Amino acid sequence: MLLTELLSRINYLQLQINALRPLDDTEANYLREYDKIGLTYSSNALEGNILTESETRKLLKDGLPSGSRPLRDHLEAAGHADAFDYLCTLQYHPGFCEQTILTLHRLFFSKIHKQRAGVYRKSRVMVTGSAHRFPLPEVVPALMADFVEQAAQWRKRYHPVAQAALIHQRLVAIHPFADGNGRVARLLMNLALLQSGHRITLIPPVLRSEYLEALEISHRNRLPFILFICRCQIEAQKDYLRLLKNFSLPQSHLIGLSRKPG
């Protein structure tokens, strides 16, 4: 079965990664910044943010905005980076609670709309191009409480990457917030991956159509979405191993290394 093959590949690459750990402080700090920039850029780009990866890097590292880009795009990048920093503080605390999800959303969204940040939606939601019927706002709190309990059970039953994919899929299906659901889902998925010792997994914007199609299908059949996330994880693992092999090179060379979507 394809899923078994992908998980076996993930396990094989994970063994190689584990053999190179622990990293020293310089390596760990570099990789954390690399992940923050990459995930912030890619996750925002999937939602229509037009900052390039280079512009995102300059904003997050040097505080240099691009004068030709909308203010909201800069606020989204800054907010996402804050949420990522919070995520990293939870890396060694297994699992998450509702407050974790609310805090991720508040940190990401407070610069855009303070009143809606970290607050469940109060109105119905429709997503263009999706046939999925999202739950009514009055049942969202109960569904989110159930979701947190489900995620804890998934951690016991499924491979960590499959569990992370399920977390992403379920949060999007509930759509608990008025805006920012996709970005919070990707942050929460990556929290689960980090907590299990796996790699931060970004979804390259060039795969946006495939990603959205898998998400839409997942409301009826979650397997294609799990397979998609597994493939993204494999690319993230390969990228990580490639980076570690280049740590002996000058820092300026490392900064120029490109991400290679699968």
Residue pLDDT, tens place only, 197-224? 999 999 999 999 999 999 999 999 999 9
pTM of this prediction? 0.93
DSSP string, 144-166: HHHHHHHHHHHHHHS-HHHHHHH
126-169 tens-digit pLDDT? 888 898 999 999 999 999 999 999 999 999 999 999 999 999 99
Residue 254 has pLDDT above 70, yes or no: no
What's the rounded mean pLDDT across residues 95-107?
98
Which one of 175, 198, 219, 253 is the catalytic residue? 175
- Cα(99)–Cα(150) distance, integer angstroms: 16
- Cα(49)–Cα(205) distance, integer angstroms: 11
pLDDT at residue 248, as a whole number: 53
Under a CB-based contact definition with an 8 Å cutoff, are residues 54 and 38 in contact?
A: no
Residue 243, amino acid: L
Q: Is 168 a catalytic residue?
A: no
Return the number of other C-beta atoms located less than 10 Å from residue 113's C-beta.
13
Q: Domains in the chain, please, with CATH?
A: 2-255 (1.10.3290.10)
Instruction: Tell me what percent of the residues of the chain surpass a pLDDT of 90.
Output: 88
